[in-house]
Chains A and B, each alone.
Chain A
Amino acid sequence: MAVHKPRRELSPDTGSTESLILNFPASRTMQFMLLFSRQGKLRLQKWYVPLSDKEKKKITRELVQTVLARKPKMCSFLEWRDLKIVYKRYASLYFCCAIEDQDNELITLEIIHRYVELLDKYFGSVCELDIIFNFEKAYFILDEFLLGGEVQETSKKNVLKAIEQADLLQEKTENMFHSKSFIGSKKAY
């Protein structure tokens, strides 16, 4: 069973009486958030703890399997390893957060819901395809709502305003640097 707690410093193994020093992170709201489809395809991954790519893949794989195996009428919380997992399905996407033991699961549900609302407002009736084709935007929106695993802004209006301003700034700089623009939509890269 691989360790997925970050920052492990092993003291030299001088015998069985030596204790293993681990750096426990103090409680944070969220360790990571994953979005994935009903087929198990990952659509967004935000990690608030440092883990190797291999560990992230392993965790993702196991967790996706576990959540997809849940029946529709089951509650939104499950215990997995030493974390609490809060998940909710919106249309074809699962939103899945890992929180620490002391955290409040119910407010995490509100966090998930708020994020979905933000996406919905930005994309206008958001669907999975929007998040697939504009994944970077999904990240930008998330980064205006949560920071370092904590809620940074509780006003929907402010979050959307910030994104709008960033989008405007992006457009402005693009127009400055390109005399000839690429075809069409401002979403094109």
Chain B
Amino acid sequence: MVAPSLKLQDLIEEIRGAKTQAQEREVIQKECAHIRASFREGDPLHRHRQLAKLLYVHMLGYPAHFGQMECLKLIASPRFTDKRVGYLGAMLLLDERQDAHLLVTNSIKNDLSQGIQPVQGLALCTLSTMGSAEMCQDLATEVEKLLLQPSPYVRKKAILTAVHIIRKVPELSNIFLPSCAQLLHERHHGVLLGTITLITELCERSPAALRHFRKVVPQLVQKLRTLVTTGYSTEHSISGVSDPFLQVQILRLLRILGRNHEESSEAMNDLLAQVATNTDTSRNAGNAVLFETVLTIMDIHSAAGLRVLAINILGRFLLNSDKNIRYVALMSLLRLVQSDHNAVQRHRPTVVDCLQETDASLSRRALELSLALVNSSNVRAMTRELQAFLESCPSDLRADCASGILLAAERFAPTKRWHMDTILHVLTTAGTYVRDDAVANLTQLIAGAQELHAYSVRRLYSALAEDISQQPLVQVAAWCIGEYGDLLLEGNCEDTEPLQVRAALGVHWGGTHQRRQDWLRGHYLCPCLKVEEEEVLALLERVLQSHMSLPATRGYALTALMKLSTRLRGDNNRIRQVVSIYGSCLDVELQQRAVEYNALFRKYDHMRAAILEKMPLVERGGPQVDEEAKESKAAPKLSEAAPVPAEPQASKLLDLLNLLDGPSEDARHPPPLDPSPGGALVQLLDLPCAPPPPAPIPNLKVFEREGVQLNLSFIRPPGTPALLLITVTVTNSSGGDVTHFICQAAVPKSFQLQLQAPSGDTVPAQGGLPITQLFRILNPNKTPLRLKLRLTYNHFGQPVQEIFEVNNLPVETWQ
């Protein structure tokens, strides 16, 4: 009685003909009603067509769950047409979360043993796409039987289905392991590819399997060699490269087998060199193989020459006209810059050129890499480049660029004056993007460099006079003027290195910053800039009154004014006036200060000079100081530790000795064997169990949301190579408290994780006492660390939950 149902293609036409969303919905709902009716009545002839239509509307986003049982019926039908659509439906509608999915198991079992290859193919495909753990358990033996069947068509599918089964139920690995040896002798590319994938999966999951399969390294090497030298066939080649998919897979397996294993690595060195030099790089296929080769070389114990070759390949990639290739090169170099610093340094000019990339993801990587390449010998040149970049870079990169420059300046500044100029330049160019501690750092720096006081205050004064909107700059300038206002009026300043600074600052400042250039030139042409007292006071008052000034900034300005009352020679009426006005300011902090200062003028005038005198230098263990300390400690330690072969650390040190040019190299690598006391690693907060600080691994900021920030710092205690200690630090710079903070973590199965109790569950607002928590991670297999964190807390009265995986974990955390 039902009218003949629409053909699939007719339905598609009708849907596409709908002019509005509502019309489309109408068409689909009407058709779905027909389909439902048809399913209810049970129409075996047209069932496959009805389901196909249903799958189409499912892709458009409409509900299709009522088709699930129909999939099962179609799969059970003997007709191939039915099975084809039925299995497709199962893959799309019946994932493992649906209760009905287990019902497919029986049909699959039947179809697998039927012996009709296309049908077996469908069954295997479906099992490997949506097979749940239970299904895999039930069907594993069936799949295993098919591994050694004569037909390669079925075998290759069975092998990859085995891969899926192992992923779902790792305990079943043992069933499939024995067949691998035989399968490796295959000539059929598809079967061979599947086998390599299977072996890779087995090795990644089980150290025993890994050891077992190391013996096939020579066989794999031979296969790859044959493929590369004589394996050309039009059937499998892409752009003159023999079966790149197979090559890449073999290389990946070699990587896993060669990792941390001297003998296997040696067995593949020659081959890797051969592939690296002979692969055609004119098209993407060749570059894909080359890239995989590079990844393998860098991950195993390769000869030093081979490593350099690999990095040079990456350097060449950087010059490739294909953006994608440049991208992978930048990513890889970034991963390698710590371990192979010198080799990567050779490509510094190319990296710096990549800063000009139009694609933001490339320029970001180039920036990270450039910052990682700054060292004491290239700091001036690099800072110039980075400052030029800062002026024109997109706004989402400015913060990172600015803080990167400041950090590099702090670590490698050749002179204090250069350092000061660099910071000043950053503050004027990108002041709003700098981190909060930039102000503190700069004031610290200036205070500590007595010979620069006059120079600093004059430069800052000029900068402030130009522009009072950049808050960090204004804050530092105000502070400086307050402290050293007397020097400002003296009219003389040292001009020991005007040329260098002029060169450093003048080169890249083109037309867009003409004003700055002019004032700079003006400043250096007549260093005796005459400043009047009244001007100074007027400037500070402008800052106080400006709507652009933050409350903190005004605080600085007010205090500066107050200090000037003892530094300037004129009478203090103007200052007293301002101070008394602010005694009734709405901002409580300012008001309090003003009232106190007022009191200083009135009742405690005799103490005013003493209270307002120059500040003593605040003691702070800065990274600059510690780098020197660590370097001098590291040098004797290296030579002591090297001749002790029994030490598990020794081989690592010997490797380091090969790579390092000398003890004055990047001090992050050599592991000091004594704990250096206290201040060396200021990033570490108090730990419940204070471990001896070993080779510092760079900290990682892993999370930021509305002022709440999570940082990880890492320690690998030297006595226990499998142990990694992570200190999680939660800080809160926002205006609201963070409460009920809970951090949970997850790691892959081969790791053991232990969380110690956190220091608390509250982080008060505005930089209150952070929470710290210690994680202990045991990684006996030295597998790559993956870490997933789950945070729950209340912030601004709202519950917050965040789950994320930590990216960019430094390799030192697990190698």
Contact = CB atoms under 8 A, between A and B. Distances in A.
A105 B324 contact: yes
Nearest to B96: A50
Given A17-B756, A82-B804, A173 B324 contact: no
Contact of A75 (B95, B160, B327): B327
A107 to B, nearest CB: 4
Interface residues of A, number: 79
B805 A82 contact: yes
A93 B130 CA distance: 26
Given A1-B802, A174-B81, A24 B61 contact: no
Interface string B199-232: 0010011000000000000000000000000000
A180 to B, nearest CB: 11
A5 B787 CA distance: 13
B325 to A, nearest CB: 7
Interface string A59-76: 000000000000001111
A101 B753 CA distance: 22
Contacts of A18: 744, 755
A49 B743 CA distance: 27
B295 interface: yes
A143 B61 CA distance: 22
Nearest to A60: B61
A133 interface: yes
A104 B291 CA distance: 8
A104 B295 contact: yes
Interface in B792-812: 802-805, 807
A140 B84 contact: yes
A41 B12 CA distance: 14
Nearest to B252: A104
B157 A152 contact: yes
A129 B49 CA distance: 19
B288 A75 contact: no
Interface stretch (B186-194, B492-500, B598-606): B186-194
Given A23-B749, A165-B118, A188-B7, A150 B160 contact: yes
Contacts of A140: 84, 88
A21 B97 contact: no
A50 B746 contact: no
B361 A106 contact: no
Contacts of A79: 361, 807
B755 A17 contact: yes
A140 B164 CA distance: 19
Given A104-B292, A170-B81, A27 B129 contact: no
A17 B157 CA distance: 44
Contact of A107 (B52, B129, B248): B248
B601 to A, nearest CB: 53
A136 interface: yes
A3 B788 CA distance: 11
Given A25-B167, A42-B59, A139-B88, A74 B291 contact: no
A106 B194 contact: no
Interface string A14-46: 001111111111111000000000000111111
Contacts of B52: 136, 189
A73 B358 contact: yes
Contacts of B92: 45
Contacts of A3: 803
Contact of A24 (B118, B324, B749): B749
A18 B80 CA distance: 51
Interface string A133-144: 101100110011
B758 to A, nearest CB: 6
Given A50-B96, A189-B9, A74 B121 contact: no
Contacts of B157: 147, 152
Nearest to A26: B204
* B interface: dominant SS: helix
A26 B79 contact: no
A64 to B, nearest CB: 12
B49 A189 contact: yes
Interface string A107-118: 101110010000
B125 interface: yes
Interface string A153-189: 1111110001001100110111001000010000111
Contacts of A136: 52, 55, 84-85, 88
B288 A26 contact: no
Contacts of B249: 151
Interface in B243-296: 243-246, 248-249, 252, 284-285, 287-289, 291-292, 295
B285 A110 contact: yes
Given A19-B753, A189-B7, A151 B193 contact: yes
Interface in B37-57: 45, 48-49, 52, 55-56
Nearest to A48: B129
A147 to B, nearest CB: 4
A75 B361 contact: yes
Contacts of A43: 59
Contact of B118 (A44, A48, A110, A166): A166
Contacts of B238: 110, 114
B729 interface: no
B757 interface: yes
A134 B804 CA distance: 38
B49 A75 contact: no
A109 B324 contact: yes
Contacts of B189: 153-155
B757 A16 contact: yes
B60 A50 contact: no
A121 interface: no
B194 A57 contact: no
A173 B79 contact: yes
A154 B59 contact: no
A153 B358 CA distance: 38
Interface-centre pick from A133, A139, A148, A153 (highest chain B CB count, 10 A): A148
Contact of B9 (A48, A147, A148, A188): A188
Contacts of A77: 324, 327-328, 361
A78 interface: yes
A51 interface: yes
A46 B761 CA distance: 43
Contact of B97 (A27, A48, A50, A81): A50
B433 to A, nearest CB: 22
A22 B130 CA distance: 20
B487 interface: no
B8 interface: yes
Contacts of A169: 80, 116, 118
A132 interface: yes
Nearest to B192: A154
Given A73-B358, A107-B244, A147-B125, A20 B291 contact: no
A152 B193 contact: yes
Given A104-B291, A189-B7, A189-B49, A19 B746 contact: yes
Contacts of B325: 106
A125 interface: no
B771 to A, nearest CB: 10
A78 B758 CA distance: 35
The 5 closest A-B pairs by CB, nearest first: A106-B288, A148-B128, A22-B746, A82-B805, A75-B323
20 contacts: A19-B744, A26-B204, A28-B167, A46-B129, A77-B328, A82-B807, A102-B784, A110-B244, A132-B12, A135-B59, A136-B85, A148-B163, A150-B197, A152-B160, A152-B190, A153-B193, A154-B189, A170-B81, A173-B81, A187-B9
Given A28-B167, A107-B288, 17 more contacts: A1-B803, A5-B805, A18-B755, A19-B745, A47-B129, A57-B61, A76-B323, A132-B16, A153-B193, A154-B189, A154-B190, A154-B236, A155-B236, A165-B118, A166-B118, A173-B81, A188-B8
Interface of A: 1, 3, 5, 16-28, 41-48, 50-52, 57, 73-79, 81-82, 101-102, 104-107, 109-111, 114, 132-133, 135-136, 139-140, 143-144, 147-148, 150-158, 162, 165-166, 169-170, 172-174, 177, 182, 187-189
